Chains A and B, each alone.
Chain A
Amino acid sequence: MKLEIRNVTKAFNGKVAVDNFSMDVEAGSCVGLIGPNGAGKSSLIKVISNVIDSDGGEVLLDGQIISKMKKRIGYLPQYPNFYDWMTATETLSFMGRLSGLLKQDESRTIPGILAKVGLRGEEDSKVGTFSGGMKQRLGIAQALLHNPSLIVMDEPVSALDPIGRREVLNLIGEIKKETTILLSTHILGDAEEICERFAIMKNGRKIEDATISNLLNRNVKNKLCVRITAKDQKWIAIVKNLPYVKEVEVIGSEVIIQVENIDENKTQVLKNALEHGVDIIKFEMKNDSLEDIFLKLVVMK
């Protein structure tokens, strides 16, 4: 399985939503499409799942155009809507049969899937009585049912309360062991928890595409953060004169020290502080969090 997104462009009434977007997704990975509201995530997801046609570019699954590969894709819309008058089992049977599931396999597959998404006991309840979280889980069940090689999810957790979000996140964590997942979200914590790789979108363009460790490492700034007591303020002047210290910034009782090489210099700074009898409250390497990086990328670029 390999998903290739090639130069996809989509505009609505002249307003560009997706602008020349390209990306490859390898089998077995879990990719998060993140970006602020209105970045074009949903439009791109809709092009990938063939809900809308792109104005330019193409989406290929294993080298085949996506509209011919629908059987191999599981799709979860942002607000999965099912027929209220159907029961959970009927809904899965209906969507499953449309996805090419055979009738004789239904009775075997459906109860298992319902149990997996935590809807055991609700088999014969009408979908109209379901809460948002239950509908979302039914939507995931529906996307999994026909064993697709790629699952595309549009904001799977954004509309849920904390409990529903936790349930769905755990479920996604579970299924990502078996399939390739592409999901969009604007909640960074969620993406950080389940995805190994991020594509950050802004104004329809891809502005960053990296794995989480790559992203964090790239933003290591060789900075140390030392919190000291007020009586040791004079040590700051000593630190400033050390040969390997490039810059010192004081924010309240915290001293941010930028050094030449964090790995070598951090022990030297610590030693120096101890030699001068400095009362250290906190001593840490300072890295940008994913949120800092995201904000920097989205706001600055």
Chain B
Amino acid sequence: MNAFKVLTKKEFLQMLRDNKVIWLPLVFILLGMTQPVVTYYLPSIVKALAGGQGIMVDPNLTALNGGEVLASTLASQFDQLGLMILVISMMGMIQADKADGMLSFILTRPVTASSYIAGKVTSHFLMAATSVAIGYVASTIYANYLFTDVPFSRMIPALFLYLVWVLFIVTFTAMISTIFHGQGVIALISIVFLIGCRITVGLSPILDIINSASLSKHAMTLLITGTISSNIVINLLVTLFWIVLILYVTNYWIANKKFKHV
């Protein structure tokens, strides 16, 4: 427990020194703002740029409500550029310690592999979750202002569903960072797999059950329609299972010293 606290504190100190505590939330605020602002001004933008050629946004299009805009923030911003930035910001979380020998060094102290991993995952998840939540709130404020109000009762549960998907992203990246050596390979594998998960949501109902990215879809549905599918419980349980399995593999890898030593 003591080692876990010391390691978690060290991660936060490092994020502070790296200014990650500033830039990561800023990135998500920007991503969160983009969707409502661009959606709102799209007709004027199109008109200004291409109005002379007769191109315009269909004026009969039904006006979007705030919930729909917030849902598209998750789908078009957070699950794409946001996910890539998250992965890239975390790809070295364990790989860097392996590469400079700090992991081996730390493990010569009375520190268990599980407290090391717990420290990494907890700190990086809290950082990612805070950034996503701040960006999400920023997006909500703009959606409320430019479109209709998003009901609190939809916005908060949707955020929680989305954060479970973020936890999956963090643990998965941690595992890949443990197993592979090169930062490029880690980023590539994580991004391709996680975006692959997100793209395949909706293709097949069976696949959706075991796909953790469905949680992002559930969050969107909740924001748009205000209803939650009954599959959500199964989805949450399956995601929990994946997270436990991923942590187990990561722990196995480190505890049995399968990583490359310097």
Residues in chain A within 8 A of chain B (CB atoms): 46, 49-53, 70-71, 73, 75, 77, 79-83, 85-86, 90, 94-95, 97-100
- Count of interface residues, chain B, beta-carbon cutoff 8 Å: 24
Q: A46-B261, A52-B257, A85-B17 are in contact. Are A70 and B110 (CB under 8 A)?
A: yes
Instruction: List 10 contacting pairs A-B, 8 Å CB cutoff, sorted by A.
Output: A51-B107, A70-B109, A71-B110, A75-B108, A80-B105, A82-B102, A97-B2, A97-B3, A98-B3, A99-B110
Cβ contacts under 8 Å, B105 to chain A: 75, 77, 80-81
Instruction: Identify A100's interface contact among B7, B100, B110, CB under 8 A.
Output: B110
Separation of A50 and B262 alpha carbons in the complex (Å):
14
- The residue on A at minimum CB distance from B111 is A98
Cβ contacts under 8 Å, A90 to chain B: 13
Where chain B touches its partner, the secondary structure class is helix
Cβ contacts under 8 Å, A95 to chain B: 109
The answer to whether A70 touches B108, judged by C-beta atoms less than 8 angstroms apart, is yes
Separation of A75 and B10 alpha carbons in the complex (Å):
21
Q: A85-B17, A94-B10 are in contact. Are A73 and B257 (CB under 8 A)?
A: no
CB distance from B194 to the nearest CB of A (A): 28
CB distance from A150 to the nearest CB of B (A): 12
Cβ contacts under 8 Å, B101 to chain A: 77, 79, 81
CB distance from B147 to the nearest CB of A (A): 43
The answer to whether A51 touches B261, judged by C-beta atoms less than 8 angstroms apart, is yes
Q: Is B39 an interface residue (CB 8 A)?
A: no
Instruction: Identify B257's interface contact among A53, A70, A79, A97, CB under 8 A.
Output: A53
- The residue on A at minimum CB distance from B104 is A51
Cβ contacts under 8 Å, B106 to chain A: 98
- The residue on A at minimum CB distance from B10 is A94
Cβ contacts under 8 Å, A79 to chain B: 101, 262
Separation of A98 and B7 alpha carbons in the complex (Å):
8
CB distance from A50 to the nearest CB of B (A): 6
Separation of A51 and B259 alpha carbons in the complex (Å):
11
CB distance from B1 to the nearest CB of A (A): 12
